[in-house]
Structure 1
């Protein structure tokens, strides 16, 4: 029986993950895919004249069962991959692409939607919005092309599904399979908390001693502390070779041929639809609008970031010389000497703050901020999830259920790297309505033994706040239709709520209340807190440069003709920027999953900085009142942005909140680059 994939009977309507078996997915997928196709066929073939109810509204519920099956499947495939699930991904991807093409290029459906859209002005606001979006999406899917064009679009979509799935699986294989044992005589500089994490990683893999893996929460602190330069180089090289054919999986995980084909197919798809290139196609529906505006923003930030990084590099090179490093500063040296520079300039040692930044303390801070801003409360509930370490919470306001929040915080070998927010179900008001079930996934280093606290780096704590910012976008959603619910907004607007929430982590009153020593319960000392906050901006040149390199390379890949050699194009972009040799791209092209494991961030990695311009100005709306928890500003933020989803264009939502477009100056000041 596979009913538990579509009929969720767990606590608070959660799926019964304890009853799910991998063998359940294929039959459930077959059944629900057929049901969705039949529902769309009924809409397209309806002999009645098209209207909002029988065409647009009908589409909103046509895939309900399929979405429930897939939300469970893709959650599990990301957090607990195995060969069976990877095989299912490879099977499902082209079939879903074919399904999407059949719907997205159906001329009958296109004609019906166009007919309804002609009268959209007379519809209620949200009904008109989803009608216009439905027409836009069908047009951009190729429904308006001739038969030959529609067939080619379908073929491209199916091939892209195969390529992007394989790309993601190759990166995961390299991440999962790499382990670097570190001998007892090579532990110079490694703090006790990091050693405990390395030993826990070894035990998890049934290995002796201590190891470094490619989990960011483990390898980054290793690069910040390890005194053994050769070990740093070995670990860093493995980290940057993921997906290149030179990683743990060898040639079998080489993503470069996939990247070339992905770029060619994106370009062809854009040209079929009448666009000059994929960047023009992608950016048309974003706040930025075109590649020129994106490039203008990124290059305006590049100059001060590059200058700051150059000054820091000169000082760190002097420190390296004192250690006997005679050559240039290398990429595997930067984090170590940046850490030492922070100690020198700010008398700050991140290890001193670590005992105060436990996961439980920082999660308490997140929930407290959500309560003070939006009157939300989080109550833990017992529920069978995919791992005993995942947690579930009821999110309520004044006793009313707002959402279920599920969090999976710790790294595991079979888990996709990075951090993300997704949903098992989204909010809507169809029928009796539906509350969201939202999921945050991180890859923090787990505690070294059962019952021990999990310690977060400052970057981990920021990630925790960031992902819960996305969760708030779902939790506070208050729209009629699922297609515009929660984070269903322009890609360069979606990061606004997540990056905005990060600002509250930096507030002294939040840290004073929640950053408590895990043994004594004492608050983080004020002088250490202030140095911690200052240290957060100390390496701003590095963090901004590595991000901008990735964003500008992504943009270059998708403008003009696709490169025959993507790595050569990457080199051209970085050379033209005079990029520092010791600061490589944040995401090397062979494992740039944002861009090549799907289309969401393709020609769109700039979105984080575009949103950052807004989040800096949005937080200023609070500080201008003299109270970072100002209730009226919080209500306006919820009313104009967080509750609205995609129910209006992003520009309109922003203007309703702030009344003017933001400038770049708050961003530069926030990054310490002014």
Structure 2
């Protein structure tokens, strides 16, 4: 690989353990020059493919496109990892610059007339080429990618589309940075013992560690906007005034005025997306985004969301009435407020099931839940995951693991980044430094090993103390590791259909399905052990946890579904003059309970506006939930959560095939049929709920 002298070889020549990058040799200031060189190299490769004098073939066009841009892929994966998980002002400044440049670069490729002619000629001849199913899927992906990038538009239209994409990339970067800035800068510092009323020890430990990170004086406790602190604070703090103050800061992320206010950014994003969809011949942006998904149309999405909404709202109203009763017992007058819900719901759970989150948490050690994740993978898929000590990753907290199959062959490398920090954006996600495939690369390598990582934001414990998780935290860990397995178990030939390279409303199936194994009794019995005594969770407590799985289902589903409905409303309109008015109108029409807020209000809805990955696609979690409920039912019907026949079918038809076959065909091959939403409603505890009259949109 020949590179300019101004590029740091560590960015592209990965010669660490099993091909890992040497993260310790990469400096923030290396990226700008590396991007310039890598973009130039990729452009030269694209020109060579487009101007090849030989007639187009699958190998000299599609395979060539699949392996082109290796340097750019490596630089990009390292940079975007740093931008999300360990950022700073230098990286953020480059992010604002490079996001539009990358958009411009890929727009130019998508509108390369000579290149599209070659791809189009192959598409027209596809039935006579003797292609495999996977090759047909790869060809289709490239052809549709060019069409959706504007290959069939006039030059003027192409220029406008490229300009739109460039602007959207810059706006998405700013949106995410604004939210991170609000999260990083806000904290509620508490020093008075009375301010800590009701808080369990594990939360005070986490708040003390957060205060220390902010260089606060000893004896100070910090409420931060990290979900792993703010949610338990709202759950346990008996100080209603402090709950209100923290809640207001949480829901106002991105909407505090000034330079970081995201509302104007949302307005511009929605206008540009609408224009983009029209340019490409779609009635609206949602129709454009859903064209290549299982859902197909906005109408199908809204049908599912509204069916669930009616039952969720009815259930939430029942839950609200119970909470109001508890508040009255406490002498709190007036309506239930959003900052009351978690606190009194926890009291209600204690009353109904005779256990509390604080009673459960000592049994959910991060280390043990990681072990549980790995054990489930061993039982289902016969892979062994072992930590490798002493390997530098992109942050000192990040851990490195080898993933080996039953024969001991190395299948993947996995990195786990579990703790919250101010340099990391909120939430949890899976991504990769490189994806599995079997193609021969320019450097002579035959295929690549998947290098997958999970990022979470659990509260870091005080030194010498274990990290304790909530049940939701533990589910998050399983969820992201399910995504990780989708990447690590991939067994395809072509990179573009590797691992999570599937439609947006199918990609959540492997992750949400994996969550089910957390609460399989034999897993909880083995790994839910008390951090002090080592004793397993008592059977009585385990039974209560399992009985309470659908507790607060109305609240949880209303939070999510309202966000998904607002997302769809935004993207089925011709731009939006006042995003907050549209949000309010949607919530009013569906009868949003005043005691609950959207899980992601518009100004901090990063799934939808920090890039467009989940734009007109937030619904996909629920679409996949229909699939995952039905998929786990297959194991229940077999009478064994680790049934080897079903596990083999799951691995071979879901986790390993990536996007190499149609998702509906993949699911049918595993299950023998497509699912019905009733399994999902039953899982949520909503199947028998009576709908409220007049609650539809």
What is the TM-score with the length of structure 1 in the denominator?
A: 0.98
1:484 deviates by 0.5
1:520 deviates by 1.4
Deviations 1:191-218 (A, max 9, x none): 1111111111001111021010000000
Task: Give the RMSD, CA atoms, in angstroms.
Answer: 0.9
**Is residue 257 from structure 1 mapped to residue 264 from structure 2 by the alignment?**
yes
Deviations 1:204-233 (A, max 9, x none): 111021010000000000000111111000
2: distance between equivalents of 1:143 and 1:72?
30
Aligned to 1:430, the other structure's residue is in SS state strand
1:300 deviates by 0.6
**Is residue 448 from structure 1 mapped to residue 462 from structure 2 by the alignment?**
yes
**Is residue 65 from structure 1 mapped to residue 71 from structure 2 by the alignment?**
yes
**Is residue 219 from structure 1 mapped to residue 225 from structure 2 by the alignment?**
no
1: distance between equivalents of 2:549 and 2:609?
30
1:458 deviates by 0.3
1:641 deviates by 1.3
Matching residue within 395, 398, 409 for 2:418: 409
1:125 deviates by 2.2
Q: Is the 8 A contact 2:608 2:616 kept in 1?
A: yes
1:534 deviates by 2.6
1:578 deviates by 0.6
Q: Is the 8 A contact 1:219 1:235 kept in 2?
A: yes
Aligned to 1:384, the other structure's residue is in SS state coil
1: distance between equivalents of 2:111 and 2:338?
47
1: distance between equivalents of 2:669 and 2:282?
32
Query: For residues 146-545 of structure 1, what are the structure 2 equivalents within 5 Å?
Result: 146-184=154-192, 185-208=194-217, 209-244=220-255, 246=256, 250-382=257-389, 383-398=391-406, 399-431=408-440, 432-449=446-463, 451-545=464-558
**Is residue 98 from structure 1 mapped to residue 107 from structure 2 by the alignment?**
no
Q: Is the 8 A contact 1:477 1:645 kept in 2?
A: yes
1: distance between equivalents of 2:395 and 2:54?
49
> 5+ unaligned residues in a row in structure 2: which ranges?
1-6, 441-445, 688-697
**Is residue 583 from structure 1 mapped to residue 591 from structure 2 by the alignment?**
no
1: distance between equivalents of 2:216 and 2:361?
26
Deviations 1:610-629 (A, max 9, x none): 00000000001111111110
1: distance between equivalents of 2:590 and 2:331?
30
Deviations 1:642-673 (A, max 9, x none): 11100112111111111211111111111111
Aligned to 2:448, the other structure's residue is in SS state coil
Deviations 1:55-94 (A, max 9, x none): 1110011111100011011111111110000011011111
1:183 deviates by 3.0
Aligned position for 1:672: 685
1:309 deviates by 0.5
Q: Is the 8 A contact 1:595 1:602 kept in 2?
A: yes
2: distance between equivalents of 1:230 and 1:96?
46
Q: Which range is displaced more, 88-97 or 319-328?
A: 319-328
**Is residue 5 from structure 1 mapped to residue 18 from structure 2 by the alignment?**
no
Aligned position for 1:127: 135
2: distance between equivalents of 1:654 and 1:108?
37
Matching residue within 535, 559, 584 for 2:572: 559
Deviations 1:229-263 (A, max 9, x none): 1100010000001111x1xxx51110011100100
Matching residue within 35, 50, 53 for 2:56: 50
1:275 deviates by 0.7
The number of residue pairs the alignment matches comes to 669
What is the TM-score with the length of structure 2 in the denominator?
A: 0.95
1:105 deviates by 1.1
Q: Which range is displaced more, 605-614 or 200-209?
A: 200-209
Aligned to 1:646, the other structure's residue is in SS state coil
Aligned position for 2:43: 37
Aligned position for 2:638: 625
Matching residue within 647, 670, 681 for 1:657: 670
2: distance between equivalents of 1:373 and 1:8?
31
1: distance between equivalents of 2:69 and 2:143?
18
Q: Is the 8 A contact 2:482 2:512 kept in 1?
A: yes
2: distance between equivalents of 1:636 and 1:264?
44
